Chains A and B, each alone.
Chain A
């Protein structure tokens, strides 16, 4: 496809013609409740070599608009408006005509690399298929060779061999590389990337964003990066478009949107975002309410019900996307002039909730009682073989000797890549069973020594909040029963149970009148509040939170994080907070433990670990976290880790991080020998800060 009229290298002097131009795109789906208007008049243009970030929460229409461009929506979807690609109108083209453009003119990278590749064909053949779909004269052998080249370009080690592997033999990050290789196979002019890093660990996300840079250099394509992560946009995009309820509500350069936002929703998103780089103890500014249903939307601005700045006109007239004082910066808001005049920030617009001082704020850590004490905890799983006669051929040490303690009123954050042993650790704590080795003491009682009765008594002191509020609440039980179940099991009388349920609902910001409703009647954020209320029903002293906010949208997340902080202060709770979102951990935790391959590699106060990480893994992990601040994000130099987390069954000798350690590579031979031979133990780096590295060196990564 050569639809480009000009591709100027210096965008300042002559504006390059857009390769992709969307005008008044509308997508609707019929549903039982009525017509769902998923996209309601979206317009944008991208030029070659440009990166447009589209930001929005789930249901904002960002993915649907991308699929509409590709013509890949289901048949029942109604698509209107204009989609011009290289001067050609795509809207209304049939499958055959679009087939020529898909993959060759416009390529797409999908969110979930686990399901986006066909499991029964080798990755090499799937890439070769993409080439041969558009170049029928290319021989099979030539296409296969080109597939290997592409795999090399996207950073797959040993590409000639790996091309013959099947998708299930790749990790998530590697699969996403394959997807990118496939997308650039035919040198497209536009790459649509739909949440390409959402399913990946932060270290892998950093790698994949690098691969996108490489891909853009190789193809000169325009990239449309669809994401909910403002941090990714800050560093990666040139321009940004914020979507809400099927429309663009703000668009402009990244700096315009981040520093001079003129739309309350954008401000709300930015204010709701915890910062990984700053020590802030103030609560986040949540955006109250939920995104509107897209069926039968009332007139007026769809954000008005959640907007603290709304005036009468907001409820009657939906504002169009209109220019602001800065050229190229557009907002759809009646109040943008007001925001402009005062140069208001999130904190000025949204009410900042008052924070309670923590219950034990004045008491030094050493004087507080220990709630949870884990000492040299080991959890092994047998590796078995054989189908009729199972036999054990070895063991995997999912958790391999970790120690930490949690004191009353504090939050310990447990972080690390997936597979590092976080979940195993909390499962061991929650099961109250005897661990493979080591000890767990809950409220001073060793779990291995408990009999049934004692275990039951201790169990009610522990609460658990799950990641996915949709899956963890029984859809057939009304909320009252869900919250009362634990109390029922402990024989709490009915009347007491009832009053406690009302109390719990009020505590988490819902009303006692919700008691007879079912989980399906609540939004994701409200469901997670119910999950939290359930964990608190028996008045526990320690609450284990397993990724409690990662399934929630940004604007909702802030409210739940604030709630958790508030509850901790009010009830004197202690938290073990497992998360892969390091920004949230920085915000909520007092101390943090960084895990790698079943070990804690660094442990200390949040300020010490985030501002002066000593272990190279912590440094790399934090360095991969995007900061929602464009200037700072662009100035940062990332420490990229090589490859993926090794399998826990193939732990390297000596220091287990050695195989990916950026520091190890720079060490002298005799220093390296120590890393190879000696397994490092946690050594003090400060008053409450330890790291397991032979050559620790604190450095700042933000």
Chain B
């Protein structure tokens, strides 16, 4: 088992290295940091621009592979280079990572849990009002892009706040700057800020997992072993939960893990719209600022998320399915 996981880890590590390298190289050849400095008025002399770019390891006159070697050498020692504003990328990264992970973790866990619950109920009560409602709702949610959903949520929150006469939901930032009060006030304030962006992520996730889980569950419901479980004296519901759900969860574990890794893309809009300064927002901003090192770092973050998620998926599948464990 340990050997199996170690082997999987190695696989993912290779994937991370390849993804990050390609990310860096793509950013380095397509972004043009020189324009940031040349565009100033009066135009600075070329030598001073070169000196600045060299200091940041962004000079397009240095061969790209040499620049990559310098950057990669730093990464190995935990140094992700300097941002275009001459700030260390790593400190920015750690701060923003916390913001993103708060959103992503809670969004994925809640989305996964409620999605699986909804899908399971839909499948057991196939062709009932609950099933039709859940399926229709899921399709509607999946059809709405995240940015539209976020805006709709914002509008709804605005109306609720107006109706309540007092702000219940906040939709900008992670907390109210300069808020005075007890620990409880701060937590409550953060929570009020937290609801809407999380909801914008969770709703889509519930729809996504719900539909998959419904299918996975329906596949399992007709199985002979559910019939066997009933034949030995288990109630239908018990047989389904105990013998069916676990099997239906096996494919879901993989979905769940990779969705978590890829949720970063969806979170970009959420972060932007709700003013959360996370990785997604950073990525967009860095691209517009021609910030090669930051873009490469975000790419690496996404790749590492996939690595962690993939490891978790493998572990979950191995726990759920003994057939995988033995081979």
Contact = CB atoms under 8 A, between A and B. Distances in A.
Interface of A: 70, 72, 95-96, 99-100, 102-104, 107-108, 110, 112, 115-122, 129-130, 133-134, 166, 168-169, 179, 182-183, 185-186, 387-388
B228 A116 contact: yes
Q: Which 4 A-B pairs have the closest CB atoms?
A: A103-B233, A130-B232, A103-B232, A133-B233
A130 B233 contact: yes
B228 A117 contact: yes
A120 B10 CA distance: 27
Contacts of B223: 115
B228 A179 contact: yes
A112 to B, nearest CB: 6
B99 interface: no
B320 A72 contact: no
Contacts of B242: 129
A488 to B, nearest CB: 39
B227 A169 contact: no
B229 A118 contact: yes
Interface residues of B, number: 25
A115 B236 contact: no
A99 B323 CA distance: 30
B243 to A, nearest CB: 5
Given A99-B234, A168-B323, A120 B224 contact: no
Given A119-B322, A120-B322, A166-B322, A102 B225 contact: no
Interface string B306-327: 0000000000000011110010
B225 A182 contact: no
Contacts, number: 85
B227 A102 contact: no
B75 interface: no
22 contacts: A70-B230, A95-B236, A99-B234, A100-B233, A102-B230, A102-B232, A104-B233, A107-B232, A110-B228, A110-B231, A116-B224, A116-B228, A118-B228, A119-B225, A119-B322, A120-B321, A120-B322, A120-B323, A166-B322, A182-B228, A387-B7, A388-B7
Name which of A120, A133, A388 has the most chain B CB atoms within 10 A of its CB.
Answer: A120
Name which of B223, B230, B321, B323 has the most chain A CB atoms within 10 A of its CB.
Answer: B230
Nearest to B223: A115
B187 interface: no
Interface of B: 7, 10-11, 223-225, 227-236, 242-243, 246-247, 320-323, 326
Nearest to A102: B233
Given A115-B225, A119-B247, A108 B7 contact: no
A118 B235 CA distance: 16
B321 A103 contact: no
Contact of B231 (A95, A103, A122): A103
B226 to A, nearest CB: 8
A137 to B, nearest CB: 15
A594 B116 CA distance: 53
A99 B235 contact: yes
A112 B224 CA distance: 8
Contacts of B230: 70, 72, 99, 102
Nearest to A127: B232
Name which of B225, B321, B326 has the most chain A CB atoms within 10 A of its CB.
Answer: B225
A269 B225 CA distance: 33
A549 B126 CA distance: 39
B232 A119 contact: no
Given A72-B227, A96-B235, A169 B326 contact: yes
B153 to A, nearest CB: 39
A118 B233 contact: no
B248 to A, nearest CB: 11
Given A166-B322, A179-B228, A387-B7, A120 B233 contact: no
Contacts of B11: 387-388
Contacts of A179: 228
Name which of B7, B228, B246, B321 has the most chain A CB atoms within 10 A of its CB.
Answer: B228
Contact of B232 (A133, A168, A388): A133
Nearest to B14: A388
A153 B321 CA distance: 28
Contact of A129 (B232, B247, B320, B322): B232
B224 A110 contact: yes
A122 B321 CA distance: 11
Nearest to B323: A168
Given A115-B223, A120-B321, A134 B233 contact: yes
A99 B326 contact: no
